[in-house]
């Protein structure tokens, strides 16, 4: 399939079947699926614990890489290895529905991590655009066009679950769950660094998935981690190459904390030999982020602002903010052959549309090219465009022209 699927539930990290459905909920078994693909529960990884060579996660990824990525190119541009992380209101334990825009298709492997292509208007209406296809991965090529890893996590708590988690609303519960998912993402990346040493790894996420990603990096770069795993976590940071954040729901302060940890210096110089590049896709008109990310997240000290609205609110050589609903930014892309759409009046489904960042096909083409035409999309080259990037303009009202 040229995709490896993982699903995190409350009782553990699962290896689902080739469609992303958990068909076997018993202990991990390496020989249950077709072509001896593994199935089953690989267990919970507590923060501070990483898998060893005998752990089910290591065994699963080792076997899966040999099947799904047998022809993976050495060149990351020719065949990137990207981990995909969805946002709010997905449940990997649900059944598979075909076509993926079924109203009950909350399994991310069905709705997002697929290779199907349907009518664009239908995909936009139901937020069912296939990420692997849009990013240039192929269905059955043994990784010749790269390898996608679909990381599913339960971000759709029920009312019952919310009531028993300190009376928090659904979104706040999911926001807290992202912290747990973050460490499991760290474990997945760390395992890949052992199984494919020297391989660059990219991350691609939307909305609340940005919290999973940014907290994962903050956890890996935490200076207080146990000495026994410090070197292994350092390899996690240094293996990451490009991180693409769409309509990020993580708070600006958390992103700044992560960048502070990544940029921390020791008496001998930078703590990490290299840190990833962050491409933060912003839309000021995204009212879903207004309501959820800024008003319904758990109470915390400091600003409520989120990166999908405000960017990093700081200059950093490894981070760039790209505001798709800004007129000047749209014109810059148009000169280069892209017709982008932020949350504005570009189409019927773009108005107040939190999902336009991936349902609009030319937006996806940009992300595909960031991963596959790497020399043309460096952070430095984007920052060289005067006054376009690294600065979020305070648009208000659909289609408003940006101002400084």
Compute the distance between CA of residue 171 and CA of residue 22 in angstroms, rounded to an integer. 24
Please give the C-alpha separations between residue 52 and each of 45, 171, 373, in angstroms, as whole numbers: 11, 34, 35
What is the DSSP secondary-structure string of 249-279? -SBHHHHHHHHHHHT-EETTEESSS---EEE
Compute the distance between CA of residue 271 and CA of residue 261 in angstroms, rounded to an integer. 9
Compute the distance between CA of residue 264 and CA of residue 227 in angstroms, rounded to an integer. 17
Asked whether residue 274 is domain-assigned, the answer is yes
The runs of H, that is alpha helices, within 69-198 are: 108-111, 120-126, 131-134, 159-163, 170-195
Asked if omega into 99 is within 30° of 0 (cis), the reply is: yes
pLDDT at 402: 34
Choice among 100-104, 208-212, 320-324, 352-356 with the minimum mean pLDDT: 352-356
Q: What is the pTM of this model?
A: 0.93
CA 245 to chain centre: 7
Choice among 138-152, 229-243, 276-290, 312-326 with the minimum mean pLDDT: 276-290
Taking Cα atoms as reference points, which of 252, 278, 299, 233 lies closest to residue 370? 278
Buried b (16+ CB within 10 A) or exposed e, 281-320: bbbbbbbbbbebbbeebeeeeeeebbbbbbbbeeebeebb
pLDDT at 1: 72
Tell me the mean pLDDT in the region 78-89: 96
pLDDT higher than threshold 80 for residue 322: yes
Cβ partners under 8 Å of residue 146, min gap 6 = 2, 72, 73, 78, 79, 80, 81, 82, 136, 137, 371
Residue 47 has φ and ψ, to the nearest 5°, of: -60, 135
- Please say whether the beta carbons of 144 and 181 come within 8 A: no
- The more confidently predicted of residues 397 and 308 is 308
Asked whether residue 27 is domain-assigned, the answer is yes
Asked whether residue 398 is domain-assigned, the answer is no
Compute the distance between CA of residue 342 and CA of residue 360 in angstroms, rounded to an integer. 9
Asked whether residue 163 is domain-assigned, the answer is yes
* Tens digit of each residue's pLDDT (9 = 90 or more) over 167-206: 578 888 899 999 999 999 999 999 999 999 999 999 999 9
pLDDT at 365: 97
pLDDT at 342: 82
Instruction: Residue 268: give the domain boundaries.
Output: 3-383
Q: Strand pairing partners for 172?
A: none
Domain count, the chain: 1
Asked whether residue 325 is domain-assigned, the answer is yes
Q: In a 3-state reduction of DSSP, which class is residue 120?
A: helix
Going by pLDDT thresholds of 50, 70 and 90, the confidence category of residue 100 is very high
pLDDT higher than threshold 70 for residue 404: no
Average pLDDT, the chain: 89
Asked whether residue 393 is domain-assigned, the answer is no
Residue entry with tokens 């609009």? 360
Asked whether residue 401 is domain-assigned, the answer is no
Going by pLDDT thresholds of 50, 70 and 90, the confidence category of residue 401 is very low
pLDDT at 403: 27
Choice among 87-96, 97-106, 142-151, 394-403 with the minimum mean pLDDT: 394-403
Would you give the end-to-end CA distance of the chain in angstroms? 46
Going by pLDDT thresholds of 50, 70 and 90, the confidence category of residue 302 is low
């Amino acid at each position: 399939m040229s995709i490896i699927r993982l699903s995190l539930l409350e009782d553990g990290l699962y290896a689902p079947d080739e469609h992303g459905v958990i068909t076997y909920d018993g202990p991990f078994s390496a020989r249950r699926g077709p072509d001896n693909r593994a199935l089953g529960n690989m267990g919970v990884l507590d923060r501070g614990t990483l898998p060893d060579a005998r752990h089910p996660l290591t065994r699963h990824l080792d076997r899966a890489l040999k099947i799904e990525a047998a022809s993976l190119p050495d060149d990351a541009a020719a065949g990137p290895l990207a981990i995909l992380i969805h946002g709010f209101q997905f449940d990997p334990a649900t059944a598979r529905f075909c076509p993926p825009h079924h109203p009950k298709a909350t399994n991310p492997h069905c709705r997002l991590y697929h290779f199907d292509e349907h009518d664009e208007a239908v995909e936009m209406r139901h937020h069912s655009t296939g990420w692997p296809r849009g990013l240039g991965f192929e269905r059955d090529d043994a990784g010749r066009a790269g390898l996608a890893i679909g990381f599913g996590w339960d971000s759709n708590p029920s009312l019952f679950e919310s009531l028993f988690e300190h009376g928090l609303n659904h979104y706040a519960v999911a926001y807290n769950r992202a912290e747990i998912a973050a460490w499991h993402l760290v474990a997945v990346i760390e395992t890949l660094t052992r199984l494919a040493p020297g391989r660059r790894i990219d991350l691609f996420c939307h909305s609340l998935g940005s919290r999973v990603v940014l907290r994962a990096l903050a956890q890996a770069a935490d200076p207080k981690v146990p000495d026994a795993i410090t070197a292994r976590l350092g390899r996690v940071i240094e293996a990451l190459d490009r991180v693409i954040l769409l309509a990020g729901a993580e708070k600006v302060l958390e992103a700044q904390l992560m960048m502070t940890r990544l940029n921390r210096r020791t008496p001998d110089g930078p703590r990490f030999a290299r840190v990833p590049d962050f491409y933060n896709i912003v839309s000021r008109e995204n009212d879903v982020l207004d309501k959820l990310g800024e008003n319904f997240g758990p109470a915390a000290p400091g600003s409520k602002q989120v990166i999908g609205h405000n960017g990093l609110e700081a200059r950093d050589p490894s981070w760039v903010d790209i505001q798709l609903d800004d007129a000047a930014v749209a014109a810059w892309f148009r000169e280069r052959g892209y017709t982008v759409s932020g949350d504005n009046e570009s189409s019927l489904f773009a108005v107040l549309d939190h999902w336009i960042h991936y349902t609009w096909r030319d937006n996806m083409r940009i992300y595909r090219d960031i991963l596959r035409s790497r020399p043309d999309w460096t952070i430095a080259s984007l920052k060289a465009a005067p006054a376009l990037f690294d600065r979020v303009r305070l648009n208000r009202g659909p289609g408003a022209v940006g101002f400084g």
